[in-house]
Amino acid sequence: MLKIDYTNVMAELIGEKDGILFQEFEEYKFIVEEIHEKIQRERENSFYFTQLPYQDTKEIKAIAKEIRENFDYFVVIGIGGSALGNQMLQEAINGFNYNNFEFPKFYIMDNVDPEKFGNILDLIDVKKTMFNVITKSGSTVETMANFAIIYTTLKELLGENYKNHFIFTTDPEKGFLRKFGQKEGIKTLDIPPQVGGRFSVLTAVGLLSAAVCNIDIDSLLEGAKSADKICSENSNVLENPAYLIGLIHYIVSQKKGKSISVMMPYFERLSSFVDWYRQLWAESLGKEGFGQTPLKAIGSIDQHSQIQLFREGPKDKIITFIKVENSLRDFKIPSDIPDDISYLSGYTLKEILDIELLGTRAALTKSKVPNLTITIDELNPYNLGMLIYIYELATGFTGYLYKINPFDQPAVEEGKNFAYGLMGRKGYEDKLKEFENLDKEKYTLKVE
């Protein structure tokens, strides 16, 4: 179960300057219908992620079973859309203690921060590790750098047997990794060509590591399937959760000056979900002067950090709270406690967390900060699958409202091109020259 409460984004509650009138939803009726038709037509190409809930998971589950039986460690080497979803699934379902109690232990090598890389190496035994190299393009610098070190290490230790410690996940045809996998005979899984990195969590990209860590991936896809059924059959924004989220964010960003979208779950297992959302929303929609800056906040921790700004700072934010009704554990405050804090007794920690949300939400509404609340009954694979699907569709839909392409990332490529130039990669000589003209250290202040 998933419920979206959008009462506090409506003008009725917070006024017309910051809030939305139902009439404004109505004004977009035909545009939304048009976009809905377009999305349905594009289910086999740009919107291919809508087909993913219907895939057969037999092969992924069989590979995962073999890995679970033969390896003590499972390491994903990937970055961006080839890592954030993996982290999100693991944390949302298995929580924070998985590596302390379960096998295979799961790590992600995303950054090329040498200390982080080394810290993971310290924790694993490479001879007992399966490395899953994930890259849609097959050539991302960070992923290739981390891969190259592990490849050489394994080859030195194991000779030709190194191949049994790698599984690749990449484009079915394009890119270096696909070619290398074919040449070396390394097991390689496909990322459907139509699915870009940040929309790929429900492909082998996210599903393999989830299945290795014993997450019920069929249930995850079932949840996504339910969301797809509702969303593909319904173009009415008030009945389609993805369009509702999309249109609300679009209207407040375009008409009410809300250029920042805060996501604030009151449930820490959703912390990495926000990181995943941040990439999805930023990289898909931040184009041609449009988009919203996604901002992470965690309840109740950030009440003691950012809420002051959210209430009394610039009126440029819309907030999405996420509430999970049932926690796996809870602790009751005893009655035999000092008088000054006795108002707490009888409550459980979860009850206090929920009350904190209510208090913060009311305070924000009072300050006319538009906010919506997504409530899910339990944080299980089914509900997470729904949430993932809804946010992917909301993102694609909102991109079409802005009339931009939500599926490319041209501005990311330019930074990569300069990096290639700096590393002396063939074909990028012009980029090095351009870089030298752009990057000059002219005004500095040194403190010793």
Q: Which residues contribute to the site for ligand PA5 (CB under 6 A)?
A: 79-82, 135-137, 140, 143, 196-198, 283, 409
Quote the least distance from Cβ 283 to ligand PA5, whole Å: 6
**CB-wise, 134 or 270, nearer to ligand PA5?**
134
CB of 416 to ligand PA5, least distance (A): 8
Q: Which residue is nearest to ligand PA5 (CB)?
A: 197
Q: Which is nearer to ligand PA5, 144 or 230 (CB)?
A: 144
C-beta closer to ligand PA5: residue 82 or 373:
82
Compare residues 21 and 411 and give the one whose CB is closer to ligand PA5: 411
Nearer to ligand PA5, 240 or 409 (CB): 409
Question: Choosing from 187, 296, 416, 434, which is the catalytic residue?
Answer: 416
CB of 79 to ligand PA5, least distance (A): 5
Q: Using the minimum distance from each CB to ligand PA5, give the nearer residue, 82 or 86.
A: 82
304 assigned to active site: yes
Assign 3-class secondary structure to the chain: CEEEECHHHEHHHHCCCCCECHHHHHHCHHHHHHHHHHHHHCCCCCCHHHHHHHCCCHHHHHHHHHHHHHCCEEEEECCHHHCHHHHHHHHHHHCCCHHHHCCCEEEEECCCCHHHHHHHHHHCCHHHEEEEEEECCCCCHHHHHHHHHHHHHHHHHHHHHHHHHEEEEECCCCCHHHHHHHHHCCCEEECCCCCCHHHCCCCHHHHHHHHHCCCCHHHHHHHHHHHHHHHHCCCCCCCCHHHHHHHHHHHHHHHCCCCEEEEEECCHHHHHHHHHHHHHHHHHHCCCCCCCEEEECCCCHHHHCCHHHHHHCCCCEEEEEEEEEECCCCCECCCCCCHHHHHHCCCEHHHHHHHHHHHHHHHHHHCCCCEEEEEEEECCHHHHHHHHHHHHHHHHHHHHHHCCCCCCCHHHHHHHHHHHHHCCCCCCHHHHHHHHHHCCCCCCCCCC
Q: Is 283 among the catalytic positions?
A: yes
**CB 191 to ligand PA5: min, Å:** 8
Choose, from 58, 156, 160, 304, the residue flagged as catalytic: 304
Residue of 283, 287, 317, 350 marked active site:
283
Catalytic residue at 436?
Answer: no
Beta-carbon neighbour count of residue 117 at 10 Å?
19
**How far apart (Å, rounded) are the C-alpha atoms in residues 181 and 404?**
35
We find the least distance from the C-beta atom of residue 87 to ligand PA5, in angstroms, to be 13
Q: Minimum distance from CB of 401 to ligand PA5 (Å)? A: 20
Decide if 392 contacts 246 (C-beta within 8 A): no
Looking at the Cβ atoms of 80 and 396, the one nearer to ligand PA5 is 80
Residues classed as catalytic: 283, 304, 416
